[in-house]
Amino acid sequence: MMLAPNVYDAEPIPEAARAEIDRMFASGDLFRYTCAGDSPVALLEREFADLLGAKYALAVASCSAALFLSLKALDLPRGARVLIPAFTFAAVPSAVVHADCVPVLVEVGDNYRIDMADFEAKLDGVEAILISHMRGQTSDMDTIIALAEAHGLPVIEDAAHSLGTRWHGRNIGTIGKIGCFSFQSYKLLNAGEGGILITDDADLIARAVIMSGAYEHNWKKHPVLQDRFANWQNKLPLYNTRMGNLSAAIIRPQLAEIPRRVRDGRRNHDHVAAQLNASPWLTVPDALEPELRAPDSIQFSLVDFSDEETVAFQDAAALRGIKVQVFGMSEDNARAFWNWQFLGKVPRLAKTRAMLSRACDTRLPARLTVADCDQIAAALVEAADEVKAEMLAYGT
């Protein structure tokens, strides 16, 4: 058997990071607020905001911290209800809980995107909307923004896994009031850990900067509208979830890699999707019309598979060296909403549950070659054929 392509290793960090890291080793200057001039974190914030087309950015410890600070910066009352999709990572409802708010889960359809009828039905009594673009899948942002505006609700975008995705040509993360991104190792930019939030709202950024841990007059090192900061002096708690200079130095030289990673990730995804869609047993839902994707993994659903066949498919793919996660079938999966027991009772959400029980996830990093992708696609198609042929042979 041919060795399966390695889908786990990260790409090397660009060599350009080394000189800056050596400089920091010599100086010990790792805290963003001790530099005399612009720190690497401040430079990353400016570069990232410019790249995305936002006015302001704040780099923090993780995307989860960015989501938490976004909710805090909106100054929602304790117990405020926040709409989130029921298909997301457990860290998203957790950020809502951490911000003393209550998540309201919305159904997600077979195409992995928010069910707009359920979204609209649940808007009453909600005070904010947090759209999680899970695995970079974009829901109908036109309708979401129109409904949010009609109800006077702020939209936060969890764009942790959507860097490089566009909607009508606009960068995902710039469509809502605040966009949050991750630099955790599985995302497009890898610093091990890290996150950033972007916004055009001066008051929101001022509040988020202070709460991220810009204590005393450290906010003076953020070159944005300074009068907004003075308004909030000593009035906000400090949650100290800053980014350090080492992380910023690792991220900054990767910014130039984004176009290549987006282009190759999309090529790999679309190449595999075409082969999976040619199988009667596998389906990759189409992106919505305004959406231009930047994937580094592929999601597909099993067609007419029982639970038993779904497990058999996972095993048959594993025998071919391809690890497939079925979100709703693996024990304790952090993306299956019924495992979010910290929320107390969760609603039934039959649509999302049905989708998760057949939705498969396979890593497809941008550095793979087209030949690697052919091998992965062939293994998945063969695994499905094998399971269905066996089941037909046994008459089950």
Ligand X SMILES: *Cc1c(COP(=O)(O)O)cnc(C)c1O
- Chain contacts with ligand X (rule: CB under 6 A): 62-64, 88-89, 91-92, 132, 134, 158, 160-161, 182, 184, 195
**Would you say 182 or 375 has its CB closer to ligand X?**
182
> Of 144, 244, 227, 136, which is closest to residue 192 (Cα–Cα)?
244
Q: Closest separation between CB of residue 305 and ligand X, Å?
A: 26
Residue closer to ligand X, measured from CB, 84 or 205: 84
Considering the complex, state which of residue 54 and residue 92 has its C-beta at the smaller distance from ligand X. Answer: 92
**Helix 63-73 with 91-98: angle, nearest 10 deg:** 40
d(CA 239, CA 68): 10
Query: What Cα–Cα distance (Å) separates residue 145 from each residue in 131, 157, 244?
Result: 10, 11, 34
CA distances from 217 to 34, 70, 248 (A): 12, 21, 22
Least Å distance, CB 319 to ligand X, is 28
Tokens read off for 264:
């190759």
CB of 195 to ligand X, least distance (A): 5
Tokens of 279: 């199988």
Which residue's CB is nearer to ligand X, number 160 or number 377?
160
In whole angstroms, the minimum distance from the beta carbon of 182 to ligand X comes to: 3
Whole-angstrom distance, CA of residue 130 vs CA of residue 36: 37
Closer residue to ligand X in complex, CB, 165/314: 165
* Residue 218 to residue 240: CA distance in whole angstroms: 12
- Report the residue number, 241 or 279, with the smaller CB distance to ligand X: 241
Both tokens of residue 86?
A: 């029921």
State the nearest-atom distance from the C-beta of 65 to ligand X, in Å: 7
Q: How far is the CB of 7 from ligand X (least distance, A)?
A: 16
What minimum distance in Å lies between the beta carbon of 129 and ligand X?
Answer: 15
Q: Output 184 or 245, the one with its CB closest to ligand X.
A: 184
Dihedral sign (CA 385, 386, 387, 390): positive
Residues 6+ apart with CB under 8 A from 142: 168, 290
Instruction: Please tell me the distance from the alpha carbon of residue 253 to that of residue 71, in angstroms, as a whole number.
Output: 30
Pick between residue 63 and residue 355 the one whose CB is nearest to ligand X: 63
CA dihedral 228, 230, 232, 235 (to 10 degrees): 180
The nearest distance, CB 231 to ligand X, in angstroms, is 29
- Nearest by Cα to 373 from 5, 2, 3: 5
